[in-house]
Structure 1
Amino acid sequence: MSNKRDGQIGYNRQVELEWLDFTASLIASGETPQSIKSSLDEYLKDRLSIGSDAVRGSRGKTISILLSIWVTVPKHLTKLRDDALLLMRHLSASEHLALHWGMTMTAYPFFGVVADTAGRMLGLQETVSTLTLKNRMREIYGQREQVIRSTRFVLYSFTEWGVLIETSERGVYRLSETKNLKDHQLQEWLLKAFLISEGKTLAPVNTAIRSPKLFPFKFEEPFRSENYSDLEFFRQGLDEEMVMIK
């Protein structure tokens, strides 16, 4: 299952959790994409500086990102999005982060690559250096200014969303705290989002739930499946549990 937007970077503006929540609430209420776009333009006027064509263009790009994550999703992501909106009805506000994370990494593969890279750095040395992260993304995507700018915006999201906090050393970040996932439906939804973002339909459960790409979150271990309708769990060999998208 390949993501058709693999070649895009695109994540080139600041995106705050509050804005994502607002966007999700609009699509959940049944508004049309055009109506949502107008609502977001009005909503962001006081939250993003205005007064010039350049800034209005910046607001438009921010709206485009919000729409791509929650509204104008491709056909193969509509079920994932709709399930996320249903989950939002009973999840606490703090649990929405996992939904926004999952939708963002499927909409913008670049976000997922930065997350995976940051997660690996945290696993090795418990910190993320802005300089090292940017250099690593250059190695992956090439020496483009867009790569550096987008890496900076993804890192901004990590800090604004409460995932990373800056240490006493400027430009060096650490994990703020691990977000324990307690809702079984949310855990299985995030597993599906992870598989889609990886372009896979099958993976070992332990590999998926411990992926650096999902570094802010801690799944329940041993993982207990709750028969999520879109996933199938089975054992392979003697002791390896697998998860597969049906």
Structure 2
Amino acid sequence: MSKPVGFDQKVLLNHLDYTANQTKKYSRKEMYTILDGYLRGDITGAKSRKNAITMLMKIWYLVDEELIPIRDEVLGKFSQLTKEERVFVHWGLTIAAYPFFKDVANEFGRLFQLQDEVSSKAISKRMKEAYGDRRRVEVATSAVLMSMKAWNIIQPVGRRSYTKGEKIVITNPLIQSFLVQVLLFVMESDSLHVDLIENHQLFFPFYCELNITELRDRKIFSFHRQGVKELVIERNAI
């Protein structure tokens, strides 16, 4: 049985910003109508527009129950976030919503630890190994690459290779808490080493040195030492 792909087309930051700004205001049914109206100027084809709406809703509106509290908290401060912080949140929620996007991001992160440039061919090969050598996987890989490029996460060099954009530094305690919760979610874990969170290849476009004091004050995490140096962060039971 082949794994589902679901990532059909390029997603733009202004579309994600707009979706986030509407998410707390409208019902699910209303959201589809509102997004359809908003996207008409950019996406003329009805099928393409429907695909885009499905993706935007999955990323921001129909999030997993576990992430709803932090999603809502981020939305409460969304207008105060910097452009870079908004990119970070879009990135995290897209990773949580789409395992295919997550796997492409992870492969980029892994390869960027070894080299400065990554070819689209290497990414495509890895995705076909994981998801099957089918047209849908090619389309989805291209859609993820075009999205990352549109977000300035990766930048083209030569014909078919990419380099990393400039690292985005994240110091906002709320966004750091969001990072921890997204990683716990996608890794299906209740605890992670702080060092792993700060250097995880899924978040290769970003630099984040966790503010342990601020995170501890949020009362949703506990910290304990493992050995002499390893600090572990753990989600508190609700």
* TM-score (norm. length: structure 1): 0.89
Partner in structure 2 of residue 16 of structure 1: 12
One-letter amino acid of the structure 2 residue matched with residue 10 of structure 1: G
Instruction: Give how far 1:225 is off.
Output: 4.0
Partner in structure 2 of residue 170 of structure 1: 159
Partner in structure 2 of residue 99 of structure 1: 89
Partner in structure 1 of residue 202 of structure 2: 213
Q: Distance in 1 between matches of 2:235 and 2:131?
A: 29
Q: Distance in 2 between matches of 1:185 and 1:74?
A: 19
Which deviates more from structure 2 when the two are superposed, residues 199-208 or residues 71-80?
71-80
* Residues 1:236 and 2:232 are matched in the alignment: no
Contact 1:166 1:172 in 2 (8 A): yes
2:31 equivalent among 33, 36, 39: 36
SS in 2 for 1:69: helix
* Residues 1:46 and 2:41 are matched in the alignment: yes
SS in 2 for 1:113: helix
1:182 equivalent among 171, 187, 197: 171
Change (3 A) 1:150 1:230: farther
Partner in structure 1 of residue 74 of structure 2: 84
One-letter amino acid of the structure 2 residue matched with residue 92 of structure 1: T
Find runs of 4+ consecutive structure 1 residues off by over 3 angstroms: none
Partner in structure 2 of residue 191 of structure 1: 180
Q: Structure 2 regions of 5+ residues with no counterpart?
A: none
1:146 equivalent among 131, 136, 139: 136
Which deviates more from structure 2 when the two are superposed, residues 194-203 or residues 127-136?
194-203
Instruction: Give how far 1:75 is off.
Output: 2.1
RMSD: 1.5
Contact 1:184 1:225 in 2 (8 A): no
* Residues 1:65 and 2:55 are matched in the alignment: yes
Q: Distance in 1 between matches of 2:213 and 2:120?
A: 37
Q: Structure 1 regions of 5+ residues with no counterpart?
A: 1-6
Instruction: Give how far 1:8 is off.
Output: 3.1
Partner in structure 2 of residue 224 of structure 1: 212
* TM-score (norm. length: structure 2): 0.92
Instruction: Give how far 1:74 is off.
Output: 3.1
Summarize deviations over 1:105-139 as a string: whole Å, max 9, x none.
11111111110001111111111210111001111
Q: Distance in 1 between matches of 2:94 and 2:87?
A: 10
Summarize deviations over 1:218-246 as a string: whole Å, max 9, x none.
0126x534123332222112110011222
Which deviates more from structure 2 when the two are superposed, residues 107-116 or residues 79-88?
79-88
Contact 2:67 2:182 in 1 (8 A): no
